Amino acid sequence: MRSRLSSLLYGAAAGARRTRRFHTCTVLLAAVLLLIAAPMWAQANPPSQAARPGATPATQAAAAAGYVGADTCKTCHEDIYTKHFESTPHFALLKENKHGCEDCHGPGQAHVESGGDPTKIIRFSQLSPAQASQRCLSCHQTSTEQSNYARSVHLAQGVGCISCHSPHHAAEPSNLMLRSQPQLCYGCHATQKAEFARPFKHRVDVGLIQCTDCHNPHGGFIERQLRTDAAGDMPICTKCHTETQGPFVYEHQPVRLEGCTFCHTPHGSTNARLLRVSNVNVLCLQCHTAVALNAGVPGLPTFHNQTNKYQACTMCHAQIHGSNFNEFFFN
Ligand code: HEC
Ligand code: HEC
Ligand code: HEC
Ligand code: HEC
Ligand code: HEC
Ligand code: HEC
Ligand code: HEC
Ligand code: HEC
Ligand code: HEC
Ligand code: HEC
């Protein structure tokens, strides 16, 4: 394990030296993350299957042989080279004095000498999602965006990098995407597609905001692959809805303690304001009961008889997320 780890780290460091965009500090961060993630990775991928990606006898032979260079590949795969490599961001590998094709497909000498035996080169179609992703991560692990991939729900469910990206056949100009959002995600997430079709929703379908504003499809530190607020422990909501963030002189405890999704559905709802319930009072009465003080929750004053007038709680308690002026959240 130690040697595998150090070679990974070395690989990451070497990648960073040659890649302007990946900073040294990110590498250090990634190194720390790797130290944490590597045992988990190893657990999820027993060495026999995944320690050496693509370790079939054929690819082991390829690994033992040398690199031939992208120009050699071009002689037989001109189409791929000129139409599906030269114009992609990975062409930068050659400018950075890396191998190019062989950075992903492994050393190609055995493949070339055999006149193109496909079993003597790494074919992504023959790799498991974990193996294929590990090849990509040998460079991309250093980016904070991708560094949690090993522990993402996506990888655990067999969704690898090339389920969403294609180095040669991307349909979208940016980020080498197979499809653009949200269609890419809807392809596997039909339930969420239905949620975003409800009357009240975050308008993802017209591109006002994107799935990846709230989620990192490459995994993250909190559940549901959610991106976090600046403090790093709550979902990202307050980044856009800054007025709900506080700190307030008079806090409404559930906003901080239970979180936004206690009262709101994040995707779509049949209720205005994305509320989980159709009548606001039902929401509030879950905690505020007739009992004067119940487990720290103030009860309803007796004059709050639930006639129409007192059902619309937020007509009066308008600053429901917290207030700097009024302990009852009137303004
Ligand atoms: C002498 C000609 C030749 C050279 C040089 C060559 N290839 Fe190939 N390659 C072939 C042939 C022929 C096939 C089999 C094509 C097929 O089965 O459709 C092939 C297949 C492949 C495949 C598998 C394609 C699949 O269908 O999954 C990959 C990947 C590949 N080559 C990559 C490379 C890379 C990378 C290089 C440079 C290191 C390279 N090739 C150099 C001739 C060559
Ligand atoms: C960034 C990693 C990467 C680089 C660099 C790369 N490939 Fe690929 N290659 C892949 C992946 C992944 C696939 C599987 C198809 C896909 O997802 O696009 C693939 C598929 C192929 C195939 C199978 C046929 C096809 O069109 O899918 C061939 C042949 C091939 N690559 C050759 C090459 C050659 C030649 C080069 C250099 C000019 C090269 N590759 C550079 C990752 C890479
Ligand atoms: C479930 C789909 C999905 C999977 C799986 C996935 N990606 Fe992505 N990736 C995306 C989307 C969507 C974006 C665009 C992100 C954005 O707009 O914020 C992206 C962006 C990127 C970028 C561009 C810049 C950035 O934001 O970092 C890189 C590099 C990248 N992905 C690499 C990878 C690698 C490597 C893997 C596998 C370890 C992978 N991705 C797996 C969906 C995916
Ligand atoms: C040898 C290192 C290396 C490997 C292996 C590698 N990449 Fe990359 N990747 C790069 C570099 C370098 C760039 C260009 C970064 C830049 O433009 O700043 C890049 C860019 C990207 C981008 C961003 C494209 C954009 O529009 O900004 C995506 C997505 C991506 N790679 C996905 C993958 C996937 C998927 C794999 C595995 C099949 C992979 N990479 C394998 C080095 C690598
Ligand atoms: C406004 C932020 C936001 C946007 C935009 C968003 N999500 Fe979510 N998503 C969340 C939150 C928050 C949760 C957790 C919900 C919970 O815990 O009740 C979640 C949960 C999920 C889940 C897990 C569902 C479950 O029942 O466990 C999936 C899958 C998902 N989102 C996919 C998507 C897809 C696909 C898109 C884009 C089409 C998207 N999300 C857009 C915030 C968002
Ligand atoms: C190739 C299929 C596929 C694609 C494409 C895909 N996902 Fe997923 N995703 C899955 C599977 C499988 C799961 C695990 C089962 C589930 O929760 O539905 C999952 C789970 C999730 C979860 C829930 C994580 C959790 O903790 O339960 C979120 C959030 C998510 N995906 C967001 C996205 C977003 C955003 C996109 C588009 C950028 C996307 N997915 C694209 C297959 C996919
Ligand atoms: C990337 C920015 C962004 C993020 C992150 C975000 N939202 Fe939103 N939200 C918006 C925008 C923009 C609208 C207005 C939508 C419209 O007009 O269609 C909105 C609307 C809403 C509404 C309805 C407001 C109304 O007047 O009807 C609620 C409630 C809401 N968001 C809650 C949340 C919650 C909860 C989260 C976290 C899970 C969240 N938002 C994350 C941008 C964001
Ligand atoms: C205790 C329940 C509750 C919690 C927790 C909660 N909200 Fe609300 N929120 C409401 C109610 C009720 C409304 C409707 C107010 C009205 O009727 O005008 C609302 C309205 C909104 C609106 C619409 C604009 C406005 O201010 O009227 C946004 C945006 C919003 N909430 C975002 C959030 C975010 C972001 C969080 C987490 C930081 C959050 N909410 C937490 C109950 C809650
Ligand atoms: C998850 C439980 C919960 C829900 C749901 C909830 N509250 Fe509260 N609320 C509390 C707690 C706990 C306090 C006391 C601590 C504090 O002031 O934040 C409180 C305080 C208050 C106060 C201030 C009382 C005082 O004496 O300072 C008002 C007014 C209030 N809530 C109204 C509402 C309204 C209106 C709703 C529905 C939109 C609602 N609450 C939903 C738990 C809840
Ligand atoms: C017509 C305006 C109005 C409506 C509607 C209203 N309230 Fe009030 N609420 C008040 C007033 C006035 C007070 C008392 C403030 C005081 O004691 O000075 C109060 C006080 C409270 C308190 C604090 C009790 C305490 O002892 O600390 C809670 C909790 C509360 N309301 C919850 C609700 C809930 C839940 C609803 C909806 C079911 C609601 N209110 C609807 C005006 C309203």
- pLDDT tens profile 31-69: 434 444 443 433 333 333 333 444 444 344 444 459 999
- CB 175 near ligand 3, within 6 Å: yes
Judge if 152 and 270 occupy the same domain: no
pLDDT at residue 309 in the model: 83
* Structural domain boundaries, residue 13: 2-156
Q: Which of 84, 98, 104 to mutate to test the pocket of ligand 2 (most atoms within 8 A of CB)?
A: 104
Judge if 251 and 145 occupy the same domain: no
Q: What b/e string do you get for 138-169 counting C-beta neighbours within 10 Å, with b at 16 or more?
A: bbbbbbeebbbbbbbebbeeebbbbbbebbee
Judge if 139 and 252 occupy the same domain: no
Using a cut of 0.85, tell me whether the model's pTM lies above it: yes
Nearest Cα residue to atom 5 of ligand 7: 237
211 inside domain: no
Q: Is the backbone peptide bond immediately before 182 cis, with ω within 30 degrees of 0?
A: yes
pLDDT at residue 89 in the model: 96
Judge if 11 and 132 occupy the same domain: yes
205 inside domain: no
- CA-nearest of 253, 310, 321, 304 to 279 is 310
Q: Which of 210, 238, 240, 273 to mutate to test the pocket of ligand 7 (most atoms within 8 A of CB)?
A: 240
Cβ proximity of 150 and 41 under 8 Å:
yes
Judge if 111 and 249 occupy the same domain: no
Among the three residues 113, 136, 156, which one is the final residue of a domain in this structure? 156
223 inside domain: no
Among the three residues 156, 191, 211, which one is the final residue of a domain in this structure? 156
Judge if 148 and 8 occupy the same domain: yes
218 inside domain: no
pLDDT at residue 58 in the model: 39
Centre of ligand 2 from the C-alpha of residue 59, in Å: 15
331 inside domain: no
254 inside domain: yes
228 inside domain: no
pLDDT at residue 192 in the model: 98
pLDDT at residue 329 in the model: 97
pLDDT at residue 65 in the model: 57
| Domains held by the chain: number | 2
Which residues of the chain have a pLDDT value below 50?
1-64
- CB 271 near ligand 8, within 6 Å: no
Judge if 152 and 246 occupy the same domain: no
Q: What is the enclosing helix (H) or strand (E) of 79?
A: helix 78-84
pLDDT at residue 289 in the model: 87
Among the three residues 156, 188, 218, which one is the final residue of a domain in this structure? 156
222 inside domain: no
